[in-house]
Amino acid sequence: MLALEEVVGKPTSIQASGGFARSELWRQMLADIFEQDVAIPESFESTALGAATLGMYSLGLIDNLSDVAQFVGTTNVHHPEPENFTAYRELIPIYIRLSRSLQPEYKNIAEYQRRNVNPDENSSESKA
């Protein structure tokens, strides 16, 4: 989301959907990390509606992404908790630095997986 903010600016609203949206903990974390309310749609599986909406918007079939808001509905809203987002303000830069410092190792992990995981097997077990 941080990369997206650099391109289009801070979001005016956040809606959580999909499997993780079933978890109250994850929804609250999202509200705390982004210091914004997080709305939960009536259907946790409204991700497909979002994909269809983006497709219709890109084809010019709808003029505004908010045109489909009436179809989504909201069952719950999580509000950011000040004591939590204060902690995240300190922790997120640490996480970003850590992630960037590990970036060279991601290539090594990918190379190991290519060498040791048999793509013909249905499982993800390695040869090791």
Cα–Cα distance, 52 to 31 (Å, whole number): 25
All structural domains of the chain with their residue ranges: 2-80, 89-117
- Total count of residues recorded for the chain: 128
Tokens of 27: 């929804």
Write out pLDDT tens, residues 15-70.
888 888 889 999 999 999 999 999 888 776 677 877 888 898 899 998 887 777 77
- Is the per-residue pLDDT at 126 higher than 70? no
Mean pLDDT over each residue of the chain, to the nearest integer: 84
Cα–Cα distance, 30 to 78 (Å, whole number): 9
pLDDT confidence of residue 21? 84
Q: Which residue has the higher pLDDT, 91 or 71?
A: 91
Describe the crossing of helices 82-116 and 24-34 by its angle, rounded to 10 degrees.
Answer: 110
Residues 19, 44 contacting (CB under 8 angstroms):
yes
Tokens 């009436």 sit on residue: 70
- Is the per-residue pLDDT at 121 higher than 90? no
- Percent of all residues in the chain with a pLDDT value above 90, rounded to a whole number: 46
pLDDT confidence of residue 44? 63
- Please report which confidence band the pLDDT of residue 97 belongs to, taking 50, 70 and 90 as the band edges: very high
The kind and range of the H/E element at 74 are strand 74-78
pLDDT confidence of residue 105? 95
- Percent of all residues in the chain with a pLDDT value above 70, rounded to a whole number: 86
- Is the per-residue pLDDT at 125 higher than 80? no
